[in-house]
Amino acid sequence: MASHSAGAQRTVTGGEVAVSGWVAFAAIVMIFGGIMAIFQGIAAIAQDDVFAATRNFTFQWNLTGWGWLHLILGIVVTLAGFALFKGVTWARVVGIIVAGLSMLANFAWLPWYPFWAITLIIVDAVIIAALCAAPRRDGSA
């Protein structure tokens, strides 16, 4: 049985739902963004002098702690991205929440590496938009 909704085709077979175009797009971007955050976290944990910190900035924390935060968030975002390919319902909600948390973490990361943080904020915003625009499982838009 196939259903059409907002230009995307979804096929239901044996209780499994093939993901729509927006969900597949969000999954790919989440996996990419999660891997970027993992590398960011590893770099911060490995060497504190990889990133230049500015003086007298509002957010002053231990760079190694931020590295662990980005590493954990990156792993969760990557795993949620892979779960989206399976059509798992909870993965969309988790994806929106984790992408929002990642946006907040990257906002606070701005003093150490602004270009990278802004890039990941944009990636997370695209993820949230794609997951919110995805059609629901019942076939309605």
For 55-87, the pLDDT digits (tens) are 665 555 677 888 888 899 889 889 988 998 887
How is the beta sheet containing 2-5 ordered, strand by strand? 2-5, 8-13, 16-17
Position 35 scores a pLDDT of 93
- Alpha carbons 42 and 57: distance in angstroms, whole number: 23
Q: With 80 as the cut, is the pLDDT of residue 32 above it?
A: yes
* Average pLDDT score over residue span 132-139: 62
Q: pLDDT category, 1, cuts 50, 70, 90?
A: very low
- Alpha carbons 31 and 130: distance in angstroms, whole number: 14
Position 89 scores a pLDDT of 77
Position 55 scores a pLDDT of 62
